[in-house]
Amino acid sequence: MGDSLITVIAIFLAAILMFVFPLMSLAERTDDISELAIQTATDEFVNNIRTTGKITLDMYEQYLQTIGTTGNTFEPEIVVYQLDENPGAKVTQAEMTKIGENVYYRKYTSQVQDELTKTGRMRLKEGDMVSVSVKNTNQTIAQILRNFFYQITGNNSAELEASQTAIITVNGSN
């Protein structure tokens, strides 16, 4: 009886050791690589925007395609901060010693997407900022396996995350 119980436990442990742990380890490495791929794609996308001064539909679709090749589904969030120097210009006239305060207006993902689908491009100017962050919306194999043992709850449960922010360096051409 005692031996049989130990054998059952041993088989169970062996199964975990032989299949689940290697699988988990492999799945986590795959996620690392996927995360690296989306981080690189996000960096490239943002760098491209900052040096060309515009977001085009073509650039955006290519970005979505690149992150999509990891086999996961994603929800990119784009925030564009548009610099308004007008308050500064007015202040400088009234008070010469003050350099002025600049204001940023924000445009969010849906507004950016609207503009891209409408005109095919979004022009930005020098001094604007763009911030792109992306998270996976599906469950990766590593997440499924991990949830089998322990559950992670809350908003920050995404496995694959990447973000990049940059200041635009040039006025976008037409």
Partner 1 sequence: MKLQYIAVIFIIIIMPISIVMASSIHSRITTISLQNDYNSKLTEATYDSIKAFQINTVNNHYSSISDSKIRDIEAAASSFFNALGTSMGLSSEDLQNHVPALVFNLYDGYYIYTKYDNSYPKSNGKPVLDSKSAQTNYGLKPYIYYSCRYKVGSNIYVVNYTLDNAITVFYTSGGASHTKSGYLINPGSVTSSVTTGDIRNWSVTYNGVKISPEVLTEHLLFADGTEGNYEYLVYNGQKIYRNSYESYFWYQNYGKTNIQKANSIYNYLRARDYDGHLHSTSAVEYYANAKTFSAEIETLLGGITQANAIDAQENKIEDFSVNTGENKIFDFNNSTNDPLLDSSIFNQNRISVIRKSIETNLKAAIANYSSYSSNGYTYQIPVLGDADWEKISNNISVTSFLQGIPIGYKFYNNYCVISNDNNEENISKDKIYIIATNNSKQREYHVPGCEYLLNSANDYTIEPEPAAAAYPNINFAAAYSNISFMRQTVRISEGNYKYFYPQSRGKSPSQTITSCYYCIVNAANVYPIDQIISGKVARIDRNITSTEIGRLSDIRKSYFHALARERYDLYLTNMNEFN
The contact set with partner 1 (CB under 8 A) reads: 7, 10-11, 13-14, 17-18, 22, 25, 29, 32-33, 36, 39-40, 43, 47-48, 50-52, 82-86, 89-90, 92-94, 96-97, 99, 105, 115, 118-120, 122-126, 128, 166, 169-174
Shortest reach from residue 151's CB to partner 1, in Å: 24
The residue among 1 and 96 lying less far from partner 1, judged by its C-beta, is 96
Two tokens, residue 50 = 């900052």
Q: In angstroms, rounded to a whole number, what is the distance separating the alpha carbons of residues 75 and 137?
A: 7
Nearest 5 degrees, angle CA 138-CA 142-CA 146? 105
Q: In angstroms, rounded to a whole number, what is the distance separating the alpha carbons of residues 72 and 85?
A: 41
Chain centroid, CA 102 distance in Å: 27
The residue among 123 and 139 lying less far from partner 1, judged by its C-beta, is 123
Q: In angstroms, rounded to a whole number, what is the distance separating the alpha carbons of residues 50 and 128?
A: 9
Two tokens, residue 167 = 């200041």
The residue among 10 and 144 lying less far from partner 1, judged by its C-beta, is 10
Shortest reach from residue 43's CB to partner 1, in Å: 5
The residue among 112 and 153 lying less far from partner 1, judged by its C-beta, is 112
Backbone torsions φ then ψ of 70, nearest 5 degrees: -75, -5
State the DSSP H helix or E strand holding residue 81, giving kind and residue range, or none if neither. strand 74-84
The residue among 155 and 160 lying less far from partner 1, judged by its C-beta, is 160
Shortest reach from residue 127's CB to partner 1, in Å: 10
Shortest reach from residue 48's CB to partner 1, in Å: 8
User: Which residues is 45 bridged to in the sheet?
Assistant: none
Shortest reach from residue 153's CB to partner 1, in Å: 27
